[in-house]
Amino acid sequence: MRYALVSDIHSNLEALEAVLEDISAQAVDKLICLGDLVGYGANPNECVQRIRDLTSHVVIGNHDSAVVGQTEVSNFNPHARRAVTWTADTIDPENARYLSRRPYTDRIDDLLLVHATPSEPAAWNYLLSAPAARAEFQSFTESICFIGHSHQPIFFSLDEVPRSRKDERLVCETGERYIVNVGSVGQPRDGDPRSCYAIYDAGHRTVQLRRVAYDVKSAQRKILKAGLPPVLAARLSRGE
């Protein structure tokens, strides 16, 4: 089986369509979405509908949860709060119900799927370092946990000292366990404005990160036209 894993789409339809086109050429068997379909961008309904049409494996993200009133937005920065409010006013009731029913975690074979962290999926904590990963490995038994949330692609492995890697390709060693952040489709934050997603080949036990260019300027124009904070448009050009 070959799985395409996407996360943090954030209502960026241009980015999502570019990634889906790339996925269509990769002989993928299943699509998995690790949450945050909405927030920040100007096409929440279109992005939710595209994912709904393509996969049943979708976990909820913090922006999804905030938009449907399940997560308090007091910890969001002011720009994110404005985007949540705008999205809540814009999203169709049916799409809102869909988001509200997404689980915090999902499992496929020997894979755990979660937006933020396996230990406290609803706390929306960020996993950014190898030391922080050590405790997280105690919270699941699967060989690989796929996450998003930080918008920064990275691999963590559990050995005597948890290691983090930013390689583009990971070969999973027999008996080793991993946490893999698949990056962000709609708002990368690692200095590369191209969309990021991952392909996991279960037969060969490999994870490949893929970067996909998309029409950034079109996404930016939509954000500005919608009256969303200009900083949300500007950051797309910088990958931050």
Summarised one tens digit per residue, pLDDT across range 69-112 is: 999 998 899 999 999 999 999 999 999 999 999 999 999 999 99
Kindly state the tokens that stand for 99. 């988001």
Q: For residue 32, what pLDDT is reported?
A: 98
SS3 content of the chain, % helix, strand, coil (to 5): 35, 20, 45
The CATH code of the domain at 2-238 is 3.60.21.10
Say which amino acid occupies 70: Q
The tens digit of pLDDT for each residue in 121-133 reads: 999 999 998 889 9
Rg from Cα positions in the chain? 17
Paired sense of beta strands 163-165 and 154-158, if any: antiparallel
The tens digit of pLDDT for each residue in 182-200 reads: 999 999 999 999 999 999 9
- Say whether pTM exceeds 0.75: yes
How is residue 214 annotated by DSSP?
-
CA distances from 188 to 55, 127, 151, 217, 236 (A): 22, 16, 5, 15, 7
pLDDT band at 166 (very low <50, low <70, confident <90, very high): low
Closest CA to 195 of 20, 49, 31: 20
pLDDT band at 163 (very low <50, low <70, confident <90, very high): low
Q: For residue 75, what pLDDT is reported?
A: 86
Percent of residues, the chain, with pLDDT higher than 90: 88
Percent of residues, the chain, with pLDDT higher than 70: 97
The pLDDT of residue 172 is above 90: no
CA distance 238 to 240: 5
E-state strands within 141-218: 144-147, 154-158, 163-165, 169-171, 177-181, 195-201, 206-212
Q: For residue 162, what pLDDT is reported?
A: 53
SS3 93: helix
CA distance 19 to 188: 13
